[in-house]
A and B are shown apart, each in its own frame.
Chain A
């Protein structure tokens, strides 16, 4: 039996003539231009405005920047805050990778395949609950007279309560709890897509478990590790909540008791509502982010 063809073309695509793409893209492009690009341009511009009688006055003066750089090491000590931010976000990201990579390995290689999906849902579950409430809950856990200290004191493992809250260690705990589900998800997806025959091949060729891990598995999961690192540092540089709720604003770290740069920006605006100056500070933060992104992308590009 013969089926008559209604149209001779094998696959007819109206792509060339289609106007549909404009209809689809114009709304989103318009929206992003007005509410994303425009505010960013504005932000950089407002950084050069000044304040007179509590009102922002358009103009072009570098007073904000010269004032900020003048206070880099004195009074507001922005340089110390920037250093603290970089230090905390770098250590947090590293800790996150060190803690989440073995976890993802466990998910892929230990948990039976039919249970993996459920295990993954459980691992990313915290991400779907409110961040600020999780921080509040961590407060109850790591408080000086909180759960952790009560338990440790009862057990007799410590004599004096551990001071974790209102230090940058507290900040890191909050950030890690935010980052972990996402890092685990990324690393899980990368590890799961690694061709397992490569691991068996390296084993058959006489590699020890450590060698297969270090010389096959880790290099293959490098893209995931790089994504996690870039993502982790950007989130922890920009986060304000953990540094305030768990870090207490000016938490202590190895560097000393300095606030994070993001905390400084938020608190300065809350205290002064000086938008031009806050905009100048935010512009500095953008510059930091761009540097990290460029470094990260270069690092990722080297491997490819």
Chain B
């Protein structure tokens, strides 16, 4: 192949690559755009042609109350679950990152494995246990179960951040006379803040979106996904699009957090530190 051919080939490859990227982004965004746009459409059935703009579905959402109540339940459970998981995860990540001890590998696997077990299995399992001790059917049942699946994400992200911390700064604190607690509290914790915040955001998203476990253990206090699921079964309504738009606005806020906290951490190379 001549050089000219080759550069022509490269250009067309790049061009088709751009087309592919554009198509991919289009498909990734399509459902979200559909949700937002059709939450303002007059017609009951979201189809083309466009019939007109309306705020009715938002009004209906506010008056119906069921979905809003579920949204409130979710906004209570998810931050709490994410908070507890992040606190537990921070201490676990710190210990796993700093200490060597027998059985560390097994322990790490035990702590990470809940994220690999499908929520469907966990949902049945949680229900089995909780119904024996009469804890099923409430918001706090969901809270207890969600913490389990959120701990691994918290540990993973905070470990990532801790691995980027030069070991020397903690050692310096010890050498200057800080106790271990003081070093943990005043050196390691401030360093980990981006990891902790990122972990909280990711954990919150997982919990807020989690359906199966909540379906099994929630009873009459459904979270938002469960309530939406029940809604889907009964009557298809653009009020769902209205909920979707509200949730979408929330996730835009979350995404800004992700862009500021999570990605810089994922894209950074771990610093080499002395053993």
Residues of A within 8 A of B72 (CB): none
CB-nearest residue of chain B relative to A125? B255
Chain A interface size, under 10 / 10 to 19 / 20 to 34 / 35 or more:
35 or more
From A29, A118, A189, A235, name the one whose CB has the most chain B CB atoms within 10 angstroms: A29
Q: In the complex, what's the smallest C-beta–C-beta distance from A154 to chain B, in angstroms?
A: 8
1/0 per position for A1-23, CB-CB distance to B under 8 A?
00000110101111100101101
Report Cα–Cα, A23/B88, bound state, in Å. 11
A274 CB to nearest chain B CB (Å): 11
Segment at the A interface, from B55-63, B191-199, B240-248: B240-248
Task: List, sorted by A's number, 17 A–B pairs whose CB atoms are closer than 8 Å.
Answer: A11-B274, A21-B99, A42-B125, A106-B17, A117-B259, A125-B28, A130-B209, A131-B211, A136-B35, A137-B241, A140-B46, A150-B47, A192-B267, A239-B118, A240-B120, A240-B211, A269-B216
User: A157 contacts the other chain (Cβ, under 8 Å)?
Assistant: no
Other-chain residue from B18, B99, B120 in contact with A110 (beta carbon distance below 8 A): B18
| Cβ-defined contact, A128 with B255, below 8 A | yes
- Given A103-B24, A285-B121: A140 in contact with B38 (beta carbons within 8 A): yes
Contacts of B8 in A (CB 8 A): none
| Option from A18, A42, A106, A132 in Cβ contact (under 8 Å) with B225 | A132
> What are the residues of chain A within 8 A of B212 when measuring CB–CB?
240-241, 266
Beta-carbon contact of B211 and A132 below 8 Å? yes
Check B34 against A130 for contact (C-beta < 8 Å). no
- Does any Cβ of A come within 8 Å of B200's Cβ? no
Q: How far is the CA of A269 from the CA of B208 in the complex (A)?
A: 23
The answer, yes or no, to whether B205 is at the interface (CB within 8 Å) is: yes
Main secondary structure of the interface of A (DSSP, over half): helix
* Interchain pairs with CB closer than 8 A, number: 261
Is the CB of B180 closer than 8 A to any CB of chain A? yes
**Bound complex: CA A39 to CA B32 (Å):** 36
B168 and A38 within 8 A (CB): no
Assuming the contacts A39-B128, A121-B259, A234-B118, asked whether A141 and B243 have C-beta atoms less than 8 A apart, the reply is no
B184 within 8 A of partner (CB): yes
Quick check: is A238 within 8 A (CB to CB) of the other chain?
A: yes
Indicate the member of B13, B28, B225, B240 with the most A CB atoms within 10 Å: B28
Residue numbers of A with Cβ under 8 A of B are 6-7, 9, 11-15, 18, 20-21, 23-25, 27-29, 31-32, 35-40, 42-43, 46, 56, 99, 102-103, 105-107, 109-111, 117-118, 120-134, 136-138, 140-141, 143, 145-147, 150-151, 177, 180-181, 185, 189, 192, 208-209, 234-235, 237-241, 245, 262, 265-266, 269, 275, 278-279, 282, 285-286, 289, 293
For A137, list chain B residues within 8 Å (CB).
30-32, 34-35, 241, 244
Q: Are B121 and A43 in contact (CB under 8 A)?
A: yes
- Residues on B with C-beta less than 8 A from A150 are 47-48
Q: Are A106 and B116 within 8 A (Cβ)?
A: no
In this assembly, does B10 line the interface, its C-beta being within 8 Å of a C-beta of chain A?
A: yes
Interface residues of B, CB < 8 Å — how many?
96
Do A145 and B47 have beta carbons less than 8 Å apart?
yes
Cross-chain contact A32 with B124 (CB below 8 angstroms): no
State the majority secondary structure of interface residues on B. Answer: helix
* A-B residue pairs, 5 tightest by C-beta: A238-B118, A137-B31, A24-B95, A39-B125, A43-B125
- Kindly state the separation between the CA atoms of A209 and B12 in the bound complex, as whole angstroms: 13
Partner pick for A106 among B1, B21, B92, CB 8 A cutoff: B21
Contact A39 B129 (CB under 8 A): yes
Q: Do A123 and B25 touch across chains, with their CB atoms under 8 A apart?
A: yes
In this complex, the member of A129, A241, A286 whose beta carbon has the largest number of chain B beta carbons within 10 angstroms is: A129
> Which residues from B are CB-within-8-Å of A13?
171, 174
Contact partner of A146 (CB less than 8 A), chosen from B47, B125, B211, is B47
- A181 with B118, Cβ < 8 A, contacts A12-B175, A209-B10 known: no
Q: Are B91 and A15 in contact (CB under 8 A)?
A: no
* A141 touching B31 in the complex, CB below 8 Å, given contacts A14-B174, A15-B98: yes
Those of B220-235 within 8 Å (CB) of chain A: 224-225, 228-229, 232
Give CA–CA (A254, B107) in the complex, Å: 43
Q: Give min CB distance, B257 to chain A, whole Å.
A: 9
- B91 contact from A23, A129, A285, A289, Cβ within 8 A: A23
Contacts of B95 in A (CB 8 A): 20-21, 24-25
Selected contact of B32 from candidates A134, A241, A286, CB within 8 Å: A134
